[in-house]
Amino acid sequence: MLLRFSVAIALFFPRFLTAAIPLPAPVDGAYPNCVQTDAAGNIYLAGSLNGDVFVAKISPDGSKIFYRTVFGGSKTDFANAIAVGSDGSVYLTGLTTSPDFPVTAGAMQTTPGYPQQAFATKLDATGKIQYATYIGGSTLSSGYGIAVDSSGNAYVSGSISGDSSGFPVTPGSIRGLASDSTLAHEFTGFLVKLDPQGTSALLSIVGFGGRLVALDRDGNIYLAGALSLDAPTTAGAFQPSVSNANCGTSGIIGPIPCAHQHVAKIDPTGTRLIFATYLSGNTGAAPAGLAIDADGNLVLAGITQSPDYPVTPGAYQPQYLFDPDYSFAPTANQIGPAPAGFVTKLNPNGTALVWSTFFSGSGRQASFNTWQDGDTINGMALDAAGNVVIYGTAKSADLPGLWRTPVAQRPTVIDQQASAGFVTRLTSNGVKLSTTELIPYAPSPAANALAVRGDGTAIVAPALSIVTLADPPRVASIADTDNTRLVRVAPGQLLTLWGTRLSPVNDAQPAGPFPSTFNGITVTFNGIAAPILFASGDQVNLQVPFEIAGQSEVTMQVSGQLGDPPFSEPFILGVVPRLPSVLISGTNFRGPLFGIAGCTAGVRCIQPLAYNADGSLNGPDHPAPAGSVVTLYVNGMGVTMPSQSTGAVAMSAELSPGLSLACCGAVESVLATETIPQSSTTLAQIRVRVGPVGPVAHIPLIIQDSAQNSAPSILRGTYALIWIQPASN
């Protein structure tokens, strides 16, 4: 296919009063895979068009196409990543299967050494090709990431499948673990630094990266990828090793090991490894975005199927959210649970997390060893203030931040496909979230699918959208008793609102029956006043009125007459019959609980607020004697019998038909599910008798309606730790 070039064509650009504005298609039939912007806000798109590579430059408002260039060989070629130089030049990488890809005279590699290879191309400010080269030597290679320095040197990162011995490396450069020619499913990463003319490799490294590349102001090189090999790590690394779990099988090659996210920082000469560490859970993780913030921290975002992916307790979403109708316990014969997004900030030395969070709804698992539906992050970029903007695909109606989206318009699963894309923004400390904006769904985006301009607007390549994100609302999150952020509620549920200067600091608490206004805070659900249990500073505790039962959605209106300044904000929330969660102890806020005694690989545990029969808090220092009674506390049961009253103080009553605790052998029996005397009617206590299993049991907490025999609802957080003194002791 011949090289083609065309000049600017102005297209009609519609305007809508929405957060997302569509861009014109740069070429009919083109699929834009990646995007970048320049200092003036111009938009650069690249991807594939009928088996060729295309790149286009579009004006900031999308009204004009300055140029579009299409090039390729006789087979399939497409771009995966784009970078823009300070002079307006454009750098591309991707993969080609064309033996006649239009390389330029004098390029670093002018003939393909394998039927599929990476390529690199530079275009000038008018869209004319300056150089094009194959990359890969005699290996099967693909280009996925590209960056450019102030001198015009291009840094290309990608992957090598199978034998990597044929990839040329520069003498004296560091070397990671090479892939094995006998293991076709294994792959490793590469980095090539091309000179400004594309004629030679100033640096070539194998064994690191594979997906993304970034540079800091000192010229250090950062590489991220998902490797199925035992990659090198450095002394003091945050995560020096990972498990060798399998994430699939093949009838030809047998078990397929999980691919684990690996990041490395390399000095500008490529001769010194500054640090290297894994960032993964038991069933793997893969990066979709990499950036370096003003303090030198690494910010990564991507996809994981690991409930034990490393997160920090104070981040926006420290829990992996499971499908409420599905209990997952990893075994050698099961695939992982539904995928989820993650955002992680790693310190400049690679030794500790600054913060780390999941970002997903509860997803859906069809059955063991089949398909899963979850929410994924497919692109990430930092704005000028260091906030983290993420783009992805959504399949969960409880995706965080959907406070302005009616329930009927929220994501669903359609034939195993997502029904929407999304864009949202986390604050630079990983604590607050802007309203999540839904955009058209676009399948199979590259990891370079998002860019952020100086004005804070986000450009999404696959969906051809300009998205404007609002600042986080004063009420920055709506949380359950286990600290899960919510966009759905149950009748009678206890909620905590976290925000900024919601009310004056006041240590006093209202006495029951609880008032509908306290310390200037009033909250209503479709006009029904909610009882306020606590309101001071940045926190409000309230009870959702039981009267919303049977509705599909409600508008929660939060007003702070004494806030600084006063405010009033609406939030659209879905309504579900019950949304159970266990009350958790302070242990959960001091560090992650996975990997400790009682939590097997791949399992994330929580420490519930559980009391032994003698009144002591259950824990490793105070285990429950075998055969004794342990009491746990549950929120979000919904409507029960006898029915409870909104805002009242509970009297002693067994809830029948109530909610039972379905569990494993560590719990011999459930004695009772009861209200808690002198407490809000929103909470219940479950008393269980523990068995002789010890010294610690991780218990899958599942709440189910025993009378109606309905589908179980798993308590978020996966597994609760109950410490038990073995009978023999």
Question: What's residue 592's pLDDT?
Answer: 54
Pairing type for strands 154-161 and 187-194 reads antiparallel
**pLDDT over 70 (residue 17):** no
User: Are the C-beta atoms of residues 415 and 443 closer than 8 Å to each other?
Assistant: no
Domain with CATH 2.60.40 in the chain: 477-575
What is the rounded CA–CA span in Å between residue 48 and residue 176? 32
pTM, 2 dp? 0.90
What is the rounded CA–CA span in Å between residue 303 and residue 619? 33
477-575, which class in CATH? mainly beta
Region 468-484 average pLDDT: 90
Tell me the backbone φ, ψ of residue 589, rounded to 5 degrees.
-100, 5
**pLDDT over 90 (residue 88):** yes
Work out the pLDDT band at 253, boundaries 50, 70, 90. low
Question: What's residue 239's pLDDT?
Answer: 95
Reading phi first (left if > 0) and then psi (alpha if -120 to 50, else beta), residue 492 is in left
- In our burial notation (b when 16+ CB lie closer than 10 A, e otherwise), range 310-332 reads bbbbebbbbbbbbbbebbbebee
User: Are the C-beta atoms of residues 303 and 227 closer than 8 Å to each other?
Assistant: no
- In our burial notation (b when 16+ CB lie closer than 10 A, e otherwise), range 205-236 reads bbbbbbbbbbbeeeebbbbbbbbbbebbbbee
pLDDT in tens, 490-536: 999 999 999 999 999 988 888 778 999 999 999 999 999 999 999 99
Region 325-354 average pLDDT: 75
pLDDT in tens, 437-453: 999 887 766 678 999 99
* Structure tokens, 250: 């093949």
**pLDDT over 80 (residue 468):** yes
Question: What's residue 708's pLDDT?
Answer: 45
**pLDDT over 90 (residue 328):** no
**pLDDT over 80 (residue 190):** yes
82 DSSP β-pair partners: 92
User: Are the C-beta atoms of residues 718 and 672 closer than 8 Å to each other?
Assistant: no
pLDDT in tens, 351-373: 999 999 999 988 765 444 444 67
> Which of 42-51, 248-257, 692-701 is modeled with the greatest confidence?
42-51
Burial category of 415 from C-beta neighbours within 10 Å (exposed 0-12, middle 13-18, buried 19 and up):
exposed
> What's CA 248's distance to the chain center, in Å?
22
Residue 306's closest CA among 329, 259, 345, 339?
Answer: 339
Q: Would you call 546 helix, strand, or coil by DSSP? A: helix
pLDDT in tens, 132-168: 999 999 999 999 999 999 999 999 999 998 788 899 9
Question: What's residue 601's pLDDT?
Answer: 60
Q: Which residue has the higher pLDDT, 418 or 224?
A: 224
DSSP state of 438: E
Place of tokens 């091309």: 194
What is the rounded CA–CA span in Å between residue 676 and residue 100? 76
* Structure tokens, 360: 């997903």
Region 420-437 average pLDDT: 95
Region 623-646 average pLDDT: 88
* Order of all β-strands in the sheet with 494-499: 475-479, 494-499, 539-543, 532-536
DSSP 441-454: --SS--TT-EEE-T
**pLDDT over 50 (residue 6):** no
Q: What percent of the chain has pLDDT over 90?
A: 56
Pairing type for strands 567-575 and 605-606 reads unpaired
What is the rounded CA–CA span in Å between residue 392 and residue 99? 34
User: Are the C-beta atoms of residues 322 and 714 closer than 8 Å to each other?
Assistant: yes
Least confident of 122-126, 403-407, 447-451: 447-451
CA within 13 Å, CB half, 169: 19
Q: What percent of the chain has pLDDT over 70?
A: 81
Question: What's residue 451's pLDDT?
Answer: 96
Question: What's residue 143's pLDDT?
Answer: 96
Question: What's residue 656's pLDDT?
Answer: 58
Work out the pLDDT band at 323, boundaries 50, 70, 90. low
**pLDDT over 60 (residue 310):** yes
- The residues, ordered by sequence, that sit 6+ positions from 586 with a Cβ below 8 Å of its Cβ are none
Region 467-487 average pLDDT: 90
